[in-house]
Amino acid sequence: MTAVDGDVAVPVAPISRRPVQIRELRIWGTTLRVGVWPGSARRAPLLLFNGIGASLELLGPFADALDDVELISYDMPGTGESGLPPIPYRLWMLALLTDQLLDELGYDRVDTLGVSWGGGIAQQFALQNPRRCRRLVLAATCAGVTMIPPKLSVLTKFMTPRRFNDPDYLASIANEIYGGDVASNAEALGHFKRTRYAGYLLQQLAIAGWTSLPWLRLVRQPTLILAGTDDRIVPPGNADLLAWAIPDSRIHRFDDGHLFLITDPASSAAVIDEFLSTPDS
């Protein structure tokens, strides 16, 4: 895998077994690290929004499992290898930024997947771009502050990005906060990469007070809602709340925890692929 820096190809550590093209785009006064996994031109590309604090590396196992769909993702401003933004941002601003990013990359219509924190941006992007977003996948996510909350002992461990920067700490709390198969899947935890406190704080501020519940009835894209039955961060009842609010939606549950996209990427990719490949009505 190579990163494109101007006209110079720079070798970087692999994100996935599947080839990925890394570029840096200058948008809205900051540099965004963007990853594109090339795929079939016969299918709509899939735009991925990651969880809080996570960089492209966390998507590697899922990208490998969904091997014929073109994937697009980027490190959020201040996260991973993207630069800090000149001002704090809200989710509606990230939706606008993403719209411009797709223009820069030459994409027209895309499917959209948001996981956990990234599910908030995915909902916002679908609302603001009804023609550009064809289908919506919401994985281990909720409607914002109107969510069914996790235990306080779990929530407090998300106040800082320590789990990204301290592998021993992550291993000690992974089962408590993520649930499912993560305790027996050390390889999954190896995809967590260091992140910055400033970028993590910006992501917390972006979603503070945000809720989609008042306007989810306006989301008209066919929507697949994925939930883990042992999700300790986003209790599974949140999937029912999203399905109740989004008109054209369906739920699929995994017997797993919050990280089913990386602890069981094959099953996750199979369900998502079936949904995305179903012909439009």
DSSP labels, 109-174: SEEEEEETHHHHHHHHHHHH-TTTEEEEEEES---BTTS----HHHHGGGSSSHHHH-HHHHHHHH
pTM: 0.93
* pLDDT, position 10: 44
Chain centroid to CA 63: 12
* pLDDT, position 73: 98
Pick the closest to residue 25 from 89, 81, 109, 90 (CA basis).
81
Could you tell me the residue ranges of all domains in the chain? 2-277
* pLDDT, position 67: 85
Q: Where are the alpha helices (DSSP H) in the chain?
A: 60-65, 91-105, 117-128, 152-155, 162-165, 167-178, 186-189, 197-207, 237-245, 260-263, 265-277
- Given a contact cutoff of 8 angstroms between Cβ atoms, the answer to whether 259 and 226 are in contact is no
The owner of tokens 């073109």 is 70
Question: 23: which DSSP letter?
Answer: E
The CATH label, of 3.40.50.410, 3.40.50.620, 3.40.50.1820, 3.30.70.270, for the domain at 2-277 is 3.40.50.1820
Of 116, 212, 249, 268, catalytic: 116
* pLDDT, position 11: 44
pLDDT in tens, the chain (281 residues): 445 444 444 445 578 899 999 999 999 999 999 999 999 999 999 999 999 999 999 999 999 999 899 999 999 999 999 999 999 999 999 999 999 999 999 999 999 999 999 999 999 999 999 999 999 999 999 999 999 999 999 999 999 999 999 999 999 999 999 999 887 787 888 899 999 999 999 999 999 999 999 999 999 999 999 999 999 999 999 999 999 999 999 999 999 999 999 999 999 999 999 999 988 76
116 is catalytic: yes
Q: Is 30 helix (H, G, I), strand (E, B) or coil?
A: strand
* pLDDT, position 181: 87
* pLDDT, position 75: 98
* pLDDT, position 7: 43
